[in-house]
Structure 1
Amino acid sequence: MSAPEPLVGEQLAIDLVNTRPADADLLQTPEQLARWLRLQAHRLPEDFAEPTSADLCAVREVRDHIAAALTALLHNRRPPAAALRQLNAAQSAAPAIRHLGWDGARCVMTPRRTGTTGARLAALLAEAAVELLTDPAVAGLRQCAAEDCVLLFVPAHPRRRWCSPERCGNRARVARYYQRHKPVG
């Protein structure tokens, strides 16, 4: 059986944490990371087309720190100081420099990160975590209501209960239908 498709569409940091559903890790290989990065390409300022094992390790480490912080918030606790420190360290390892250029008509500024591919990618994802963790909307962070699902989301609608209506929401509707219509006896 193949691994489930990564769920995307939440904030980048949540999408990263959601690459680790209940009994799987969707980022076990550089190829799986490359696939996830392609799904997120519209949010990334540069192409990270061919990540290495070292890049994968850097991303997974950042994912673990984001997950620790979000889990704490989900349970109304203070995020672990070590997780926050490590997210800051990941950003510092590949600082963003405002690169000045000319577009043919005027001067333009483009932020570029320095460092290895893994450091730049980890910094970008850590920065996405900082944006999420400081956003007041994170107070609405929820875990999917399905018993066997650990995926997180910030609901746009207060009645949202599932990570995805197509995944867990549909399974819940089918289960309710079955319970109402199962043969007696």
Structure 2
Amino acid sequence: MAGLEPLIGEPLALDLVNTRPVGADLLETPERLAEWLRLEADRLPEPPPDHLTGADLAAVHAVRDHTAAALDALLHGRRPPAAALRGLAEAQSAAPAIRRLDWNGDAVTETVARLGDPGARLAAHLADAAATLLTDPAIDRLRRCGAEDCVMLFLPAHPRRQWCSPERCGNRVRVARYYQRHKATD
């Protein structure tokens, strides 16, 4: 992705919400969505569709918006908007999940598969990731980046973590502090 690179490595739903930093949309086109999906491919239950459409992009944007609204409410100690929770449920139901049974030679196994077109299955999987995050007890640790001009969200593994990324915002804040200290002594 040209310019600003997406941050990945948080829960998938947070990675999705974090594709909208201040003043940018890293999923602005179907092609950019395809690039992001390639970065997240190991966390998707099936390969991303070969060809993404504007409708697929709109479905992913809707899941991102609903997830962001629910997370913002939780960050502020409020109940997530009913419309956001309903929107995530609608994305999930647009590609219903079924349990497929199979025999592996020793035992019955199951796999969960989604029905529907590839874009609806993708949006449903992202909505599932949002549901998993929103119901995880760790959601109480959710934080917004401590850098003044950053809106990224993260779940800190360490309670002292302040920034979405030590390489991005953490380094930028430390350099700015250093500059201010040395500017004051000059």
Q: What TM-score does the superposition give when structure 1 sets the normalisation length?
A: 0.94
- Segments of 5+ residues of structure 1 without an aligned counterpart are none
Residue equivalent to 2:70: 69
| Secondary structure at the counterpart of residue 101 of structure 1 | strand
Across the aligned residues of Structure 1 and Structure 2, the Cα RMSD in angstroms comes to: 1.6
Using the TM superposition, give the Cα deviation of residue 177 of structure 1 relative to its aligned residue in structure 2, in angstroms: 1.1
| Secondary structure at the counterpart of residue 80 of structure 2 | coil
Contact 2:6 2:18 in 1 (8 A): yes
Q: Which stretches of structure 1, 4 residues or longer, exceed 6 Å deviation after superposition?
A: none
- Matched positions, count: 185
How far apart, CA to CA, are the structure 2 residues paired with 1:172 and 1:61? 32
Query: After superposition, where does 1:1-185 map in structure 2 within 5 Å?
Result: 2-50=2-50, 51-103=52-104, 106-182=107-183, 184=185
Contact 2:49 2:118 in 1 (8 A): no
| Secondary structure at the counterpart of residue 10 of structure 1 | coil
Superposed CA deviations along residues 40-85 of structure 1, whole A, max 9, x for unmatched, are 1111110014322211110001100000000101111110001001
Contact 2:49 2:119 in 1 (8 A): no
How far apart, CA to CA, are the structure 2 residues paired with 1:78 and 1:106? 43
Q: Which amino acid aligns with 1:90?
A: A
| Secondary structure at the counterpart of residue 145 of structure 1 | coil
Using the TM superposition, give the Cα deviation of residue 89 of structure 1 relative to its aligned residue in structure 2, in angstroms: 1.1
| Secondary structure at the counterpart of residue 98 of structure 2 | strand
How far apart, CA to CA, are the structure 2 residues paired with 1:35 and 1:103? 35
Q: Which amino acid aligns with 1:117?
A: P
How far apart, CA to CA, are the structure 2 residues paired with 1:99 and 1:143? 39
- Segments of 5+ residues of structure 2 without an aligned counterpart are none
How far apart, CA to CA, are the structure 2 residues paired with 1:104 and 1:49? 31
How far apart, CA to CA, are the structure 2 residues paired with 1:124 and 1:84? 15
How far apart, CA to CA, are the structure 2 residues paired with 1:171 and 1:34? 29
Contact 1:38 1:49 in 2 (8 A): no
Q: Which amino acid aligns with 1:160?
A: R
| Identical counterparts, % of pairs | 69
How far apart, CA to CA, are the structure 2 residues paired with 1:184 and 1:108? 69
